[in-house]
Amino acid sequence: MASLGPTFGRGAMTNSWTDIKNADVIWIMGGNAAEAHPCGFKWVTEAKAERGAKLMVVDPRFNRSASVADHYAPIRSGSDIAFLSGVINYLLTNDKIHKEYVRNFTNAAFIVRDDFEFNEGLFSGYDESKRSYDRSTWEYKFGDDGFAIRDMTLQDPRCVFQLMKKHFAQYTPELVERVSGTPKDKFLKVADWVASTANGERAMTIMYALGWTQHSHGAQNIRCAAMIQLLCGNIGIPGGGVNALRGHSNVQGITDVGTLTAAIPGYLALPTEQEPTLESHLGKRTFKPLTPNQTSYWQNYHKFYVSFLKTQFGANATKENEFGYNYLPKLDGIYDCIKMFDLMHQGKTTGLLCQGFNPLMAIPNTNKSREALSKLKFLVSMDPIETDTARFWENHGEFNNIDPAKVQTEVFMLPVTSFAEEEGSVTNSSRLIQWKWKAADPYFESKTDTEILADLFVRMRKMYEKDGGKGKEALLAVDWSYKDPLHPTVDELQIELNGKALTDLKDAEGKVVRAAGQRLATFGEMRDDGSTDGCMWIYTGFYGPTGNMAQRRDNADPSGLGVYPSWGFSWPANRRIQYNRASADPDGKPWSERKKYMYWDGQRWSGPDVPDYVPTIPPDRAVGPFIMNAEGVSRLWVRGLMADGPFPVHMEPFESPVGNLVFPKLKGNPVARVFKYDMEALGTSKDFPIVGTTYRLTEHFHYWTKTVHANAVMQPEFFVEMSEELAKEKGIKHGQRVRIWSKRGEVKGKAVVTKRLKPFKIDGKTVHEVGLPLNFGFIGETKKASPINSLTSAIGDSNSQTPEFKAFLVNVEPIAGPVA
């Protein structure tokens, strides 16, 4: 989400699953929705069958999404930016853009500083020794009034629009074919179908997932997609959007709630050690508008922050102690999973707690991960099922080759209730919060995650109270005043998420608008004086004074547009399509009858959804539709908000069969963080000429369902997909066992020789790619296999640190013996 936020203001799926039925063109790239999200994909087949929509799939493999597509175009893994930049260039050079949208709702008109430069793939400010940019030149030019300068004619050579034209001009269809291996005619068909929606009459949705994010330049892949949708005017309208399809049932919710190294619930930031006081933290984040009149909603950051602190520290958060700000841990850097395992591998980590997480399988470079786990003093696995990680110390022959006697790690495997044995709210990919009710009793001695953590926390606090210890004050400052400290109820926790009034809240006239103790109805009620709490402002209202909105089950859809406004609660403020003010033109009229959604009715913004806008501000106030952004508009140019550039640039993966054909000086992403161990573990195309890519199979869910009998029956064994041409070249027979190895490790599996993969012609050279399903391991009912991440590299994206699972180098050879 490191690119949607900088572009639109919020980093989440823009539209909803059911809204996909409103699309006229559906573009799946960097994902495989039919296989990874079959029941969401139904709205694609629905748009096709009932609306005549066209589906196009761009992927290295002809996959199961492609099997029902109207158009399929192949692409070499890791070359998406070249392809997508080609589409941007096509739209700009053929003048196939939605001009009024671009002019008014994006920052196309903003003027960029004179000292900004772009040369040979690098932006101004690059420091090679630090592998980072000084981003100061990527800023707008400001006038004397303090506001950014704009040229609404889009003619100024330093305006974003003109810079964009220049920047993307070289990405011709011929270049796309040469770099990405996509035949020109197949590329042009994609570009043409995209262009068919740049008019306010037709809509295109883009559906992607980890096929775009899991690259060392993943965030910029998505940036390209976001820019294309802005050029076409496809953001904020029904059937449009950039739809990030989340993988795990509650990965949206668990991210919303801040379980990432630098986060606090609701996308607030954990303090850094450069911010010794609350004021110093808030001062950096209270964004003033960059053009007149803008909403710039983050101006309210301090209200949300103080309310969070009140929930975290309760009575121990007072005005005098900056609401407990200094009890919070402060960052000296970020600790994402790659860094975590690198530190562990260096022997710097004592303990690891895994809650429904199987890192031996999920983290890149399994051999490194296994060594890292072996250096722990203790490991705790809290999971309904046995994981490969919990048994990392056990010898499983070639699949997990380790000597248990040498592993001094204490391991705990704690039984956790399954999804059916607990209740609570879960947030789906499209921000929809829904309830699950408890269906059965806990299996044997299993307990909920909350019960286990409460037990741990209460026990540790008792130890500190009795025996003392370091950091005692911060530990005891945490509010744990639940009725039964060992069993905080779902209701108690939900109230904390929502927030409540701590004293009577009064309006300007002194009238009580919310009595002390009452739950808040919206985050608009939050205050920065300690009179409200609520740890996650974006969810406020989901358990408001009227009740538990997540439990709503009214499936009426009065507009027929798949809005379902009374089903569950969609954050923020129950909005189903984000940025929906942009579904109307600057005067507040729908762009077209076909795309009518939210519009100005003379009094207020109306339509089937909750306006993503102040409901009563008339269109002539010229407040932009992207209210989270200080500009009020979306960003074709992201200023300094991304580490690797204000515009995307074609970057090759760190392991690539070819050099960078567009910018020969670039090796990988020039600002990606690479640890020494991982840099040394990179292979070259001389030894590893074949591109490898990993993915899920529809029959399996990550590393869980290999323990699930029915799914093990459906796909029982690890395999590698390869083209008939590669099989012939290597002397591999259909169904034969093969060995696949990279610089980092090897795996063995059956060969699925298929017409669905074809060799690429890259700059005149034949490049093969193999497909490697990720769902197999050594625990469970499927045939034992080495973890697929034995092959992958622990190098991540420069913005999100997402590992480069989707493009790396391998080699393949047949294993002698009988064919299956």
Partner 1 sequence: MNMELSRRSFMLGAGAGLAGTSLGALGFGEIEAAHALSIRPFKLAQTKEVRSQCPYCAVCCGMMIFAAESKVEKGKMEVTHIEGDVDHPVNRGTLCPKGAGAIDYIKSKSRVKYPMYRKPGTNSFERVSWDFAMERIAKLMKEDRDANWVEKNRDGVTVNRWLTTAFLAGSSVANEGGWATFKVSRGLGLLQIENQARI
Partner 2 sequence: MFTPVPNPTTNPVAAKFGQQDLIRRSASSVTAPAKRQTEVAKLIDVSKCIGCKACQVACLEWNNLTEEVGVNVGVYDNPHDLTANTWTLMRYTEYENAESGNLEWLIRKDGCMHCEDPGCLKACPAPGAIVQYSNGIVDFDHDKCIGCGYCIKGCPFNIPRISQVDQKAYKCSLCSDRLAVGQGPACAKACPTQAIVFGTKDEMKQWADHRIKDLKSRGFKNAGLYDPPGVGGTHVMYVLQHADKPQIYAGLPNNPSISPLVEVWKGVTKYVGLAAIGAFAAFGFLHHAVAGANRVTAEDEKNAERLTEGQR
Amino acid (one-letter) located at 480: W
Q: Which stretch binds partner 2 (CB under 8 A): 45-53, 259-267, 623-631, 636-644?
A: 45-53
Q: How far apart are the C-alpha atoms of 256 and 242, rounded to whole Å?
A: 19
Q: Which stretch binds partner 2 (CB under 8 A): 518-526, 584-592, 641-649, 714-722?
A: 714-722
* Residue 595 DSSP label: G
- Binding track over 687-706 against partner 2, x by CB under 8 A: -----------xx-------
Q: Is 34 in the site for partner 2 (CB under 8 A)?
A: yes
Q: Which of 269, 331, 641, 661 binds partner 1 (CB under 8 A)?
A: 331
Site string for partner 1, 526-565 (x = CB under 8 A): ---------xx--x-------------x-x-x----x-x-
Structure letter (DSSP) for residue 399: G
The string over 764-796, giving b where at least 16 C-beta atoms fall within 10 Å of a residue's C-beta and e elsewhere, is eeebbbbbbbbbbbbbbebebbbbbbbbbbbbb
How many residues touch partner 2 (CB under 8 A)? 48
| Closest to 84 measured CA to CA, from 249, 203, 219 | 219
Interface region with partner 1, contact rule CB under 8 A, candidates 157-165, 291-299, 492-500, 525-533: 492-500
Q: Which of these, 433, 431, 44, lies nearest to 206 by C-alpha position?
A: 44
Q: Is 483 in the site for partner 1 (CB under 8 A)?
A: no
Interaction residues for partner 2, span 232-271 (CB under 8 A): none
Report the partner that residue 734 touches, choosing among partner 1, partner 2, none (CB closer than 5 to 8 A by kind).
Answer: partner 2
Closest by Cα among 473, 426, 502, 26 to 248? 426
Segment lying near partner 1 (by CB under 8 A), choices 80-88, 258-266, 632-640, 662-670: 258-266
Closer of 529 and 554 to partner 2 (Cβ): 554
Q: Is 439 in the site for partner 2 (CB under 8 A)?
A: no
728 binds partner 2 per the rule CB under 8 A = no
The residue type at 45:
T
Q: Give dist(CA 534, CA 312) in Å, integer.
A: 9
Contact partner at residue 753 from partner 2, partner 1, none, CB < 5 to 8 Å by partner kind:
partner 2
Contact 685, 656 (CB under 8 A): yes
Paired tokens of 61? 């493999």
* Distance, CA of 734 to CA of 814 (rounded, Å): 10
SS3 at position 94: coil
The pairing of beta strand 760-762 with beta strand 746-754: unpaired
Token pair, residue 435, equals 């309830």
- 310 and 532 Cβ atoms separated by less than 8 Å: yes
Binding pattern to partner 2, positions 759-788, x when CB under 8 A? ----------------------xxx-----
139 binds partner 1 (CB under 8 A): no
Q: Is the dihedral of CA 429, 433, 438, 439 positive or negative?
A: negative
Q: Which of 162, 355, 503, 559 binds partner 1 (CB under 8 A)?
A: 355
User: DSSP readout, 641-694?
Assistant: SSTT-SS------SS-SS--SS-TT--S-TT----HHHHHT---TTT--EEEEE
User: Considering only 113-121, 326-334, 730-738, 739-747, which stretch makes contact with partner 1 by CB under 8 A?
Assistant: 326-334
Binders of partner 2 among 77-136, rule CB under 8 A? none
Helices within 52-159 (DSSP H only): 80-93, 99-105
Going by the DSSP 8-state scheme, the letter that residue 733 receives in this structure is: P
Among 619, 640, 689, 716, which residue interacts with partner 2 (rule: CB under 8 A)? 716
- Indicate the residue among 414 and 682 with the shorter CB distance to partner 1: 414
Element (H, E) at 761: strand 760-762
| Sole binder of partner 1 in the list 670, 683, 787, 803 (CB under 8 A) | 803
Whole-angstrom Cα Rg for the chain: 26
Rounded to a whole number of angstroms, the minimum distance from the CB of residue 706 to partner 1 is: 9
Task: For residue 615, give the amino acid letter.
Answer: P
Asked whether position 17 contacts partner 2 by CB under 8 A, the answer is: no
386 binds partner 2 (CB under 8 A): no
Is the distance from CB of 550 to CB of 434 less than 8 angstroms? yes
Q: Does 377 bind partner 1 (CB under 8 A)?
A: yes
> Which stretch of DSSP H or E encloses residue 619?
none
Cβ 50 to partner 2 shortest distance, Å: 7
> Could you give the CA distance from residue 346 to residue 816 in angstroms, rounded to a whole number?
39
Q: Which does 56 bind (CB under 5 to 8 A by kind): partner 1, partner 2, none?
A: none
368-395 in b/e burial notation, b at 16+ Cβ within 10 A?
A: bbbebbbbbeebbbbbbbebbbbbbbee
Euclidean distance between CA atoms 811 and 742, whole angstroms: 6
Site string for partner 2, 62-81 (x = CB under 8 A): x-xxxxx-x-x---------
Choice from 45, 172, 518, 559 touching partner 2 (CB under 8 A): 45
Segment 380 to 399, residues that bind partner 1, using CB under 8 A: 380, 382-386, 393-394
Residue 677 contacts partner 1 per CB under 8 A? no
Minimum Å gap between C-beta 262 and partner 1 is 8
* Distance from C-alpha of 757 to C-alpha of 769, rounded to nearest angstrom: 8
Q: Using the rule CB under 8 A, which residue among 269, 474, 521, 752 binds partner 1?
A: 474
Q: What is the rounded CA–CA span in Å between residue 313 and residue 775?
A: 41
Among positions 291, 580, 736, 792, the unique one binding partner 2 when judged by CB under 8 A = 736
Instruction: Write the CA distances from 762 to 502, 575, 669, integer angstroms.
Output: 64, 44, 20
User: Exactly one of 443, 665, 735, 765 binds partner 2 (CB under 8 A); which one?
Assistant: 735
718 forms part of the interface with partner 2 (CB under 8 A) = yes
Cα separation, 193 vs 204, in Å, equals 9
- Selection from partner 2, partner 1, none that 539 binds (CB < 5 to 8 A by kind) is partner 1
Task: Please pick, from the candidates 23, 25, 28, 36, the single residue that binds partner 1 as defined by CB under 8 A.
Answer: 36
Give the integer Cα–Cα distance in Å for 417 and 521.
32
Closest CA to 671 of 122, 279, 44, 300: 122
Pick the binder of partner 1 from 80, 342, 496, 631 (CB under 8 A): 496
First to last CA, the chain: 43
Q: Which of 121, 125, 183, 356 binds partner 1 (CB under 8 A)?
A: 356
From candidates 160, 712, 794, 807, binder to partner 2 by CB under 8 A: 712
> Strands 719-723 and 126-127, how do they pair?
unpaired
With contacts defined by CB under 8 A, name the span among 30-38, 169-177, 517-525, 760-768 that binds partner 1: 30-38
- State which of residues 49, 68, 169, 439 lies at the interface with partner 1 (CB under 8 A): 439
Could you tell me if 338 and 364 are in contact, meaning their C-beta atoms sit under 8 angstroms apart?
A: yes
Which residues from 41-80 bind partner 1, rule CB under 8 A? Answer: 42-43
Contact predicate 288/148, CB 8 Å? no
Pair of tokens at residue 643: 């580490």
The token pair at 496 is 């904390």
Instruction: State which of residues 8, 41, 212, 313 lies at the interface with partner 2 (CB under 8 A).
Output: 41
CB under 5 to 8 A by kind: which of partner 2, partner 1, none does 380 bind? partner 1
Q: Report the nearest approach of partner 2 to the CB of residue 755 (Å).
A: 5
Selection from partner 2, partner 1, none that 396 binds (CB < 5 to 8 A by kind) is: none
With respect to partner 2, which residue has the nearer C-beta, 510 or 560? 560
CA distance 701 to 741: 24
Is residue 422 a contact point for partner 1 (CB under 8 A)?
yes
604 touches partner 2 (CB under 8 A): no
Least distance from partner 1 to the Cβ atom of residue 29, Å: 19
535 binds, among partner 2, partner 1, none (CB under 5 to 8 A by kind): partner 1
Residues binding partner 2 (CB under 8 A): 34-35, 38-39, 41-42, 45-46, 48-50, 52, 62, 64-68, 70, 72, 698-699, 709-719, 734-736, 749-756, 781-783, 820
